[in-house]
Amino acid sequence: MEKAKEREMTGDELKSMLKSNIRFKSLGGVKHPGLRLEEEDLAWWRAAKFGMFIHWGLYSILGRGEWVMHNERIPAEEYRKLAEEFNPKAFDADRWAAIAKDAGTRYMVMVARHHDGFALWDSPGSYQDFTSVKTAAKRDFVKEYVEACRRADLRVGLYYSLMDWRFPGYFRPRELLENALLMKKQCYDQVRELMSQYGKIDILWYDGAWLAHQGHDPDAAWLWEPVKLNQMAREYNPKLLINPRSGWEGDFYCDEGSHEICGNIIPVPWEKCVCIGSGRSWGWIPDDPVMTFDDAIRMFVNVWMRDGNILLNVGPDKDGVIPEEAVARLMEIGAWMQANGESIYGTRGGPFQPVDDVYGSTYKDNKIFVHILDWERFQGMRLPAVEGKVVSSRLLGGKEVGYAQTDDGLSISVPREMADGPDTIVALELDRDVPKPQQEEISFTG
């Protein structure tokens, strides 16, 4: 297979591409020849489209978000006492995996250790044995989670924060370098544990590389040496997908938050991380309102038609239970995915550039799936010309709809009574496969 030509997207082209409200983090990470995975190694992830993110830890006891230790200036000694309360008898990793599966997700990413330093596994490398195995729970939750994912046939991802608020050297790394290096040693030891103790891991999702809560992840590469760190991780999992939050450029880009998505198709692998709740916190907050079904589907479709993945976050409570309202919404989403998954799983964004809030498309082989978000505004619109002849036009899994194809474009007629909720999907079948765009390795600078 001929390797794609690499180029860096900069200047006006980058500004134009990112004039949407997509906010990629950690642009400009360290590059290293051969460290990024090849496109074929990302094929399963691109086809999966949909994953579940889980934020859960000591902070779930307090219910004021995963940043509570830092935001409320809780001393490390006092915060540590929560570990003796953390004994979630109702925790059931198989229940998590079943919910994720029924929601239509194909992979999961669990927070193994957040910025507070509490490790949810048996971690000899943990500073001061701050782990779920050495405290009240006496359980390796990462092990239970990984095994549950495999039983449910879900790909396995682990989130790991490089930073640890317990180390003064994090806040003053140059002045307190010895302490910062102790934190770095913990990071290397723990990443090695996660990559070596639990069999094949598919995704390593870093966070928190930036130092003293200033600058960006690449600014801290002098301390973390992310190329060395990720080369070590790949020794245990050669095809491991790695995000860009360690200071290395990563295999895919990340946009996080509840802001809407607009603009053109993104020509790089990317993932939208969003909370099923209000977005005030990634960790559990009591009575946090859940996004509406329509808002969820519109958000997801806007990402998928721009060739991205969705990583949908839930925050279980202190007992490890995902709130009932969130589960109910996930089941609605899962039912929609079951009915409409042909237009999502295994597809790519395109070939039509999206028209914000009106329509966009996904495609696979000889089928184009037109996702209509606003039926009224879509009426009378002309889609760009396609290579090949349209041989059928029908609602996904349903009735035929009218179309007209000429050399300069395509129009589709969907009667008002056939419009279907937040996303009306028309499947166009062609007499040949949709041409794939020429492969390029595009990278963004900071």
Query: In this predicted structure, which of 11-25, 43-57, 186-200, 267-281 has the lowest mean pLDDT?
Result: 11-25
350-430 and 24-343 share a CATH fold: no
pLDDT at 24: 84
Q: How confident is the model at residue 15 (pLDDT cuts 50, 70, 90)?
A: low
pLDDT of residue 3: 44
Q: What is the DSSP pairing of strand 359-364 with strand 402-406?
A: unpaired
415: number of Cβ within 10 Å: 10
Q: Give dist(CA 393, CA 81) in Å, integer.
A: 62
Q: Above 60 in pLDDT, residue 263? A: yes
Q: Which two tokens stand for residue 386?
A: 């396609």
Q: What is the homologous superfamily of the domain 24-343 according to CATH? A: Glycosidases (3.20.20.80)
Per-residue model confidence as pLDDT tens digits over 207-259:
999 999 998 999 999 999 999 999 999 999 999 999 999 999 999 999 999 88
Bond from prior residue into 351 cis (ω within 30 degrees of 0): yes
CATH top class, domain 350-430: mainly beta
Mean pLDDT of the region 85-99: 97
Q: What is the mean predicted confidence (pLDDT) over 162-190?
A: 98
Identify the burial level of 84 via C-beta atoms within 10 angstroms of its C-beta, where 0-12 means exposed, 13-18 middle and 19 or more buried: exposed
pTM recorded for the entire structure: 0.94
Residue-level pLDDT at 97: 98
What's the pLDDT at 446? 58
Q: At what angle do helices 93-102 and 141-151 cross, to 10 degrees?
A: 40
Structure token pair of residue 293: 């079904």
Q: What is the mean pLDDT of residues 284-297?
A: 96
Q: How confident is the model over 308-323, as pLDDT tens digits?
A: 999 999 999 999 999 9
Q: What is the mean pLDDT of residues 298-304?
A: 97
Neighbours of 143 (CB within 10 A): 16
Is the pLDDT assigned to residue 162 strictly greater than 60?
yes
Is the pLDDT at 1 greater than 80, yes or no?
no
CA dist 159 and 111 (Å) reads 4
* Domain residue spans of the chain: 24-343, 350-430
Instruction: Check whether 8 has a pLDDT greater than 60.
Output: no
166: exposed, middle or buried (C-beta count within 10 Å: 0-12, 13-18, 19+)?
buried
- Residue among 284, 258, 251, 288 nearest 273 (CA): 258
Amino acid in position 37:
L
In sequence order, the β-bridge partners of residue 338 are none
Please report where in the chains the tokens 């409409």 appear, as a residue: 340
Say which amino acid occupies 383: L
Assign 339 a pLDDT band (cuts: 50, 70, 90): very high
